[in-house]
């Protein structure tokens, strides 16, 4: 009798003890509820211990690292939470036999609990596979975090629909139909999510962006390294150590500069110019030729051009009436070609640019053999320091806006008796 219906046995025991029928029914129900609660708690501990031990031994014996990730994400151990749910489901009939309302409520809550546990297990499974994917070489070029987040959202939404169907006792198809009628509202609410999803697909499919890329986006104040790409946002750490989040769809609808090609090439472009005072440009005379002939990079060239004949530098000049700026361009190209930190496999050129009334732009176009930030800036600075220092050897001057000291010197030259 005890095994068939313990609640009735307990109620009869309390009645035999002198309690009323109502008191006996209440106490027997409370005792059964406590027993079921304790058994469900114990079942959770026991099943978790069994699963943990079995899974731990299997992981240790396996040579694969994938099962380690599933163990770390607790995919299997979280299945133990189904044990108390099953205990409550099958034993609640004994504990709450006398109250149909409470029995139905407990069954519904238990069903919702199992749905939530199933959702947690599925999400843990997805997280484990995502972590495994990140260990593969393809993950460096194809970021799928946005897709993973979308799948998680779908799992959560499906779970929410099932919970609503249980609470309101409605068929799930009816709920979906009602949600379809609210599609316009949902699109408005989830606008950023939908745009982010489309944007993440385009970024991934076209290999436009991945974590670790250095990007520049002037319109958004972005100039740094991508640290994370999610469904809605891309997180960038600027070089001033600030963090900027940019909507994923903005990287598709707006333009940005990705420096990964430069980093992968191993070289970095120098494309900077200085402005030459055009009044200092002149043909080389005998005195200047003599002075330039002692410069190692020009000695052989100046000797060959002095006697005329064919162009000794491969049509660098059209004729031999050389200008100081032309020889300087030739000298500086030779300087760049002999520089140990300038890439010889890429273009090396010193050229004029169109003047805008503030001197003649002289542009250095070359590539450094080291593209790291600090070495690149040091190489570039060294090159232009040498360029500026050598200009006076060619009787060239840099064009710059007059300063107060320039005006003062002009005033003193014009009127030596003036007092500063």
Going from N- to C-terminal start, the domains of the chain cover: 6-135, 150-263, 266-404
CB 76 within 8 A of CB 49: no
Q: Compute the distance between CA of residue 338 and CA of residue 331 in angstroms, rounded to an integer.
A: 11
Confidence of residue 259 (pLDDT cuts 50, 70, 90): confident
Q: pLDDT of 345-385, one tens digit each?
A: 999 999 999 888 788 999 999 999 998 889 999 999 999 99
Query: Which fold would CATH assign to domain 266-404?
Result: Alpha-Beta Plaits (3.30.70)
Phi, psi values for residue 276, rounded to 5°:
-95, 135
Q: Which of 91, 97, 109, 90 is nearest to 26 (CA)?
A: 97
Q: What is the pLDDT of residue 306?
A: 66
pLDDT value at 182 more than 80? no
Name the β-bridge partners of 272.
Answer: 364
Average pLDDT, the chain: 80
Q: Compute the distance between CA of residue 395 and CA of residue 387 in angstroms, rounded to an integer.
A: 13
Q: Compute the distance between CA of residue 204 and CA of residue 196 in angstroms, rounded to an integer.
A: 12
Considering only 229-233, 239-243, 299-303, 410-414, which range has the smallest mean pLDDT? 410-414
Which DSSP category does 411 fall into?
A: H
Specify whether the backbone of 359 is left (phi greater than 0), alpha (psi in -120 to 50) or beta.
Answer: left
Specify the CATH class of 150-263 in words.
mainly beta
Q: Compute the distance between CA of residue 236 and CA of residue 257 in angstroms, rounded to an integer.
A: 13
Alpha carbon separation from 172 to 128, 155, 287, 371 (Å, rounded): 30, 15, 97, 58
Q: What is the pLDDT of residue 320?
A: 63
The DSSP code sequence of 116-144 is HHHHHHHHHHHHHHHHHHHTSGGGGT---
User: Dihedral of the CA atoms 172, 174, 177, 178 (nearest 10)?
Assistant: -100
Count other C-beta atoms under 10 Å from residue 245's C-beta: 14
Q: What is the pLDDT of residue 196?
A: 75
Considering all CA atoms of the chain, what is the largest pairwise distance in Å, rounded to the nearest integer? 135
Return the axis-axis angle of helices 6-16 and 21-61, rounded to nearest 10°: 140
Q: pLDDT of 41-68, one tens digit each?
A: 888 888 888 877 777 777 777 777 777 7
Q: Which of 1, 10, 77 is nearest to 46 (CA)?
A: 77
Which residue bears the tokens 């946002």?
233
Domains 150-263 and 266-404 share a fold: no
pTM: 0.54
Q: Compute the distance between CA of residue 384 and CA of residue 363 in angstroms, rounded to an integer.
A: 11
């Amino acid at each position: 009798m005890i095994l068939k219906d313990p609640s009735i046995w307990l109620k009869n025991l309390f009645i035999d003890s002198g309690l009323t029928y109502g008191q006996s029914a209440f106490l027997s129900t409370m005792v059964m509820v406590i027993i079921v609660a304790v058994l469900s708690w114990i079942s959770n501990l026991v099943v978790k211990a069994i699963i943990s031990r079995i899974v731990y031994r299997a992981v240790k014996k396996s040579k694969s690292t994938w099962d380690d990730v599933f163990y770390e994400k607790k995919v299997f151990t979280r299945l133990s939470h189904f044990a108390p749910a099953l205990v409550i489901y099958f034993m609640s009939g004994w504990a709450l036999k006398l109250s149909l309302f409470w029995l139905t409520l407990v069954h519904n809550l238990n069903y919702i609990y199992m749905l939530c546990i199933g959702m947690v297990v599925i999400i843990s499974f997805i997280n484990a596979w995502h972590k495994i994917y990140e260990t593969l070489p393809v993950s460096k070029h194809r970021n799928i975090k946005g897709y993973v987040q979308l799948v998680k959202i779908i799992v959560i939404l499906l779970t929410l629909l099932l919970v609503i169907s249980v609470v309101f006792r409605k068929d799930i198809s009816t709920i979906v139909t009602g949600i379809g009628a609210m599609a316009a509202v949902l699109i408005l609410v989830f606008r950023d999510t939908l745009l982010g999803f489309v944007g993440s697909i385009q970024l991934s499919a076209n290999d436009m962006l991945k974590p670790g890329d250095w990007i520049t986006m002037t319109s958004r104040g972005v100039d740094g390294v991508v640290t994370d790409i999610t469904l809605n946002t891309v997180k960038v750490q600027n070089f001033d150590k600030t963090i900027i989040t940019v909507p994923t769809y903005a990287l598709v609808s707006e333009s940005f500069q990705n420096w990964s090609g430069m980093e992968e090439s191993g070289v970095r472009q120098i494309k900077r110019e200085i402005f030459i005072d055009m009044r200092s440009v002149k043909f080389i005379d005998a005195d200047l030729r003599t002075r330039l002939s002692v410069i190692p990079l020009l000695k052989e060239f100046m000797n060959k051009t002095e006697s005329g004949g064919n162009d000794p530098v491969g049509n660098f000049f059209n004729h031999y009436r050389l200008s100081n700026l032309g020889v300087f361009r030739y000298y500086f190209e030779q300087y760049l070609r002999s520089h140990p930190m300038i890439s010889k496999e890429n273009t090396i050129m010193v050229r004029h640019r169109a003047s805008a009334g503030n001197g003649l732009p002289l542009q250095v176009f070359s590539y450094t053999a080291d593209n790291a930030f600090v070495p690149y800036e040091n190489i570039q600075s060294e090159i232009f320091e040498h360029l500026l220092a050598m200009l006076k050897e060619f009787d060239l001057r840099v064009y710059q806006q007059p300063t107060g000291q320039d005006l003062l010197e002009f005033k003193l030259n014009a009127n030596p008796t003036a007092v500063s």
